[in-house]
Amino acid sequence: MCVGDSVSLVHPIVGEGYKFIFEAVLIASKAIEKSFKNRDLNYLLEYESNWKKRFLLNYKHSKRSQARLFKYSQNNSVTDFIVFISKFLLDKRAIKTLSGEYGLDEV
């Protein structure tokens, strides 16, 4: 079950998203628990700041990549060329790119 904005965390390029959803749920649960414990809804604001620390750069990069891929996919010759050169990517690099992590360290 997904709640709130965690559903929107599906990777915008490959559609993968469970990893992001689960991490967001962990971030949210900590803020919710803290809020209940201290009886103060202001602690819920920690979710947004911690989410941004963890995901914002990756998310912005993914959205830019999504826009570029959509643009280039409109031209079959460009798409064919991209598929051709992708065969020369290292497997590790390709997997990291598809994961949405883009080489950023875990926070």
d(CA 41, CA 86): 48
For the segment 16-54, what is each residue's pLDDT rounded down to a tens digit? 667 777 888 889 899 999 999 999 999 999 999 998 999
For the segment 56-72, what is each residue's pLDDT rounded down to a tens digit? 888 888 788 888 878 88
d(CA 104, CA 57): 9
- Give me 43's structure tokens: 């602690």
| In contact, 24 and 6? CB cutoff 8 Å | yes
Phi and psi angles of residue 33, each rounded to the nearest 5 degrees, phi first: -60, -45
d(CA 106, CA 99): 13
| In contact, 44 and 51? CB cutoff 8 Å | no
Question: Is the pTM of the predicted complex or chain greater than 0.75?
Answer: no
For the segment 69-86, what is each residue's pLDDT rounded down to a tens digit? 788 888 888 888 877 887
Residues whose CB is less than 8 angstroms from the CB of residue 66 and which lie 6 or more positions away in sequence, other chains included: 12, 13
Q: Where are the domains of the chain?
A: 4-99
d(CA 16, CA 19): 8
- Give me 38's structure tokens: 């201290």
